[in-house]
Structure 1
């Protein structure tokens, strides 16, 4: 019963399974040693991260339920940001500017907890929820799923970089962050997140 209550909570903000996604562009999969792009590349990268991600599944699900953010979406962001911690050095990435599984940027946000803690994941989910609230106010006539995807892009690039739906990823890393994270989230949803 708890799972259903949580699911209805985050679905009020849009269902990640209904968010459109077209790609990881060539640069993202190429950096991963893949010779192809698109949703299949995003799913392959997520699959590679699955073993590490499983270490954090319980925490991700608990945070998702408590913060009204789909656990699959948190997992998609964790995969995109840190490969479930595999690419971090003592919890740090991005030239020691970003911390933890969700790569909270210390230049803009306080870092809390250890890099792989529930407190850290909660902080990342809070930041994401803040981006979602800004996208809901900024784009009143967009569907919930469009606002959700915009919030994913804003999590990476900041809310001011998201100007219109078709170009929501224009200011993101590799220009594909939102699309790639959505594809990864859909993969993790199929894996029980």
Structure 2
């Protein structure tokens, strides 16, 4: 699973919630038919239980229609409410998401190797290395706070890459 932005999260949660609720109603229907066949044969089931299940299905469909994929601003009010809280939804090992505000994101998310930066920004690795070390008598383009060598590996910061090469391009995706 990948990290979700505030714009992506509502769509995923709405889709999963809709599917989950429909699955629960289907499970109730199946359980009733398998474990209570006598109840199903009576009019009581068809007069009381079945209409309630259908009402629930219709309510779920109506709610999903309000916020579902046919709605032009899919989850828009939820996204708008999250705009004051910049951050990402990060999956845990169970597949559930937790919101991590940008100011609490790990520092390691801000540092990458030259090859990783090359993939993310679509800039050749040799160009980034030259910007770190300098070339042909020219000083390095990165500041001492944006780039450093760790052993044999060059590390660059997201801030430095953004400054020199613009925002992240995600060439791979």
Pair in the same fold by TM > 0.5 = no
Q: TM-score category by the smaller chain?
A: under 0.3
Higher strand share: 2
The TM-score normalised by the length of structure 2 is: 0.24
Between the two structures, name the one with larger relative contact order (CA 8 Å, sep ≥ 6): 1
> Which of 1 and 2 has greater Rg?
2
